[in-house]
Structure 1
C-alpha cells in the first residue's frame, strides 16, 4: 500500500482550497493501491488556510526544534505541522506503507526542494515536515514529479 497526498487525487485540500490532480497518482487510488493523506488537515488545519513556509531551515530543523513553520500572516503553525506529520506516519505504519507520493515543494510534503520561508517563491534544498518524518522511518518518498518517471511495477516489489 502507498500513501499519497490527497490533493494529488483531486481532493480540494490545498491551502487555497484547490487540488493538484495527477492522473497517474489517481490511478493508484482507483486500483486500491493507495490511501489518501493530507498532513496539514491531519494536524488540525482547515481548508482553505493561509499559506505556510518553513522559516530558517527545513523539515529536519522543524522536527529538531530549530525552526518554525509560519504563515504569511505570521501565525506559528509548527505544532500542527508536526502533529500532521506524526498522524501521517501512524497511518503509513497502520497500512504497512513502504512508499509515499507527496506534493512537491510543500512545507509538509515537499521532498528535496521547499520554499525558503520568505513567501517570495525562492526555493531551497530540504524536505517538508511530513516527508522528513516518513523518510526517517524508512518510507521511501517520491514527489509527483518523480513518480511520473517510475513504472508502476516498482511499487510491487
Structure 2
C-alpha cells in the first residue's frame, strides 16, 4: 500500500486550487493500492491558499527548527507540521511503508524544495512531510522518480 499526495491523482488541493495529475499515481490509486493525503489540508490550510516556502532549510533541522512562511510573510509552520504529523499517523495506522509525494512542495518535496525567497529557485532539500515520513522509516519517493512504467509499482 502506498501513501500518495492527493494532487498527483487529480484532487484539486494544490495551493492554487489545481492539481498535479500523474497517470501512474492515479493507476495505483484506482487499483486500490494507495490512499491519498494532502498534508496542507490535513493541517488546516484552505485551498486555494497563499504559496508557502521553507525559509531556513538545513538538512540538520528538526521539525521544530523549520520555519515555513507564505508569500504574505505569515508563519504557517504550525499548520504544515500538524499536517505532516497527521499524514504520519495515517501511515502508521495503515502500516504503510512507501510514499509517493509531490516534488518541490514545502510539505512533500523529496529531492528539492524552493529556496524560501519566492523567486522560483529550487534547492536540494525535503519538505516537512517527506522528512517526517523518512525519519519514521517510510520509503519516500517523488513522482519524478517513478519514470514511465507502472509495472514496478503494481
Q: TM-score range by the shorter chain?
A: over 0.9
Report Cα offsets for 1:111-143 as digits up to 9, x if no partner: 121001000011111100000000000110110
The question of 1:88 aligning with 2:79 is answered no
Alignment match, 1:148: 147
Alignment match, 2:47: 47
The question of 1:17 aligning with 2:17 is answered yes
Q: Is the 8 A contact 1:15 1:49 kept in 2?
A: yes
Length-normalised TM-score, structure 1: 0.92
CA distance in 2 between counterparts of 1:71 and 1:87 reads 21
How many residue pairs are counted as aligned between the two chains? 154
Alignment match, 1:108: 107
CA distance in 2 between counterparts of 1:117 and 1:25 reads 28
Length-normalised TM-score, structure 2: 0.94
CA RMSD in angstroms comes to 1.6
| Residues 106 and 3 of structure 1, relative CA distance in 2, 3 Å threshold | same
Report Cα offsets for 1:42-65 as digits up to 9, x if no partner: 0000100000000011576260x3
Report Cα offsets for 1:66-92 as digits up to 9, x if no partner: 331000001110000000000000111
Unaligned runs of 5+ in 2: none
